[in-house]
Structure 1
Amino acid sequence: MKKFATLLAAALITFGGLTALASAHEQKAGDLVLHHAWSRATPGGAKSGAAFVEIENTGDTPDQLLSASSDVAAMTEVHQMSMENDMMTMKPAGIVDIPAHGKVALKPHGLHVMLMGLKKPFVEGDTFVVTLEFAKAGKVDLQVVVGKVDDMGEEH
């Protein structure tokens, strides 16, 4: 009986971990579905990192991503990378429109959540929270999964 209880407890812990991982890969807020929130592990000494997610609006009205925040960094902003005069630039994106029945991808070399002044390195396999604030859907605590340092998102 004791062996059965131990196996049952192990199964529940494993199932709970899978549930947490599954929820980290799809979260819902109002008409929005946030798919596969992820980040890269940061190399030693790095003071900044980024988080990525696909935001799908399943509703009939547009929404807007207003801001981002996180306890893992001194400053968190939504940024846009782009090419200007053969040079890569990065600047705050401001308000990001999420069209009705549309998608917006926060991904490497484009829109992303920039985390500056990291309080500790991002380690592969860890998770952290980024709070996204939307005009209609409100605040969403996004569970971000840390991947490999050279991850470009193909697996996510």
Structure 2
Amino acid sequence: MSSTRFAALYAACLTPLCAIVFASDAIAHSYQVSGLAIGHPWSRETAPGQSVGGGFLTVTNRGKTDDRLIAVTSPVAAQVQLHTMTMDGGVMRMREVTGGLAVPAGGTLELKPGGYHIMFIGLKKSLKAGERVPATLTFQRAGTVQVAFAVQPATSTGPMEMPHAGH
């Protein structure tokens, strides 16, 4: 086999492997700040011209002191707010949360569709599946941490992760 043909075959075989490695890195991600673990920030893609988007993640407090998520900022939106969603007589109502969200010592705060979540308001561009949205989370005690929200398809209901083979 010629070296050119071998190189082409090698590249063709390697490409799917690389796609899997990069996809798992883009999808399954987490961050740390002090005793807090921030797991799998994600968002849904938005339609062209849509001015708002949602953000979701978990914060696990491995420390012995309560903390609070008090603010989120992102360069992709004019403003970012912490929100809650409730159903009232069959009507969905979203409201800004003032004073932040508690992250109890030894507990977990879950931001997910249908509950507490982050609202990116005044989007400067559409969020596209496969992209990452940079943001800064600010906690009352732990301080700030830079994260990136993995943008998933509009139909996503939770963070998409690759299977963890062998464990």
Give the drift of 1:34: 0.4
What TM-score results when the alignment is normalised by the length of structure 1? 0.83
Shift of 1:86: 3.4
| Partner residue, 1:54 | 58
**How many residues of Structure 1 are paired with residues of Structure 2 in the alignment?**
146
Answer yes or no: is 1:65 the counterpart of 2:69. yes
Which whole-Å deviations, capped at 9, do the CAs of 1:81-137 have from their partners, x for residues lacking one? 112343211111121110000001101111111001100000110001121110111
**Aligned mates of 2:45, 2:90 — CA distance in 1:** 28
For 1:131 and 1:20, how far apart are their aligned partners in 2? 20
| SS, match of residue 108 in structure 1 | coil
Question: Percent of aligned pairs with the same residue?
Answer: 33
TM-score by length of 2: 0.78
* Selected match of 2:126 from 121, 126, 129: 121
How far apart in 1 are the matches of 2:72 and 2:25? 22
Instruction: Output aligned runs, 1:82-121, within 5 Å.
Output: 82-94=86-98, 95-121=100-126
Distance in structure 2 (CA, Å) of the matches to 1:155 and 1:46: 23
State the Cα RMSD in Å. Answer: 2.4
Which sections of structure 2, spanning at least 5 residues, go unmatched? 1-6, 162-167
Query: Structure 1: any 5+ residue segments left out of the alignment?
Result: none
CA apart distance, 1:141:
1.1
Q: Compare the two structures and name the one with the higher strand fraction.
A: 1
| Deviation (angstroms), 1:149 | 1.2
Regions of 4+ moved over 4 Å: 16-20
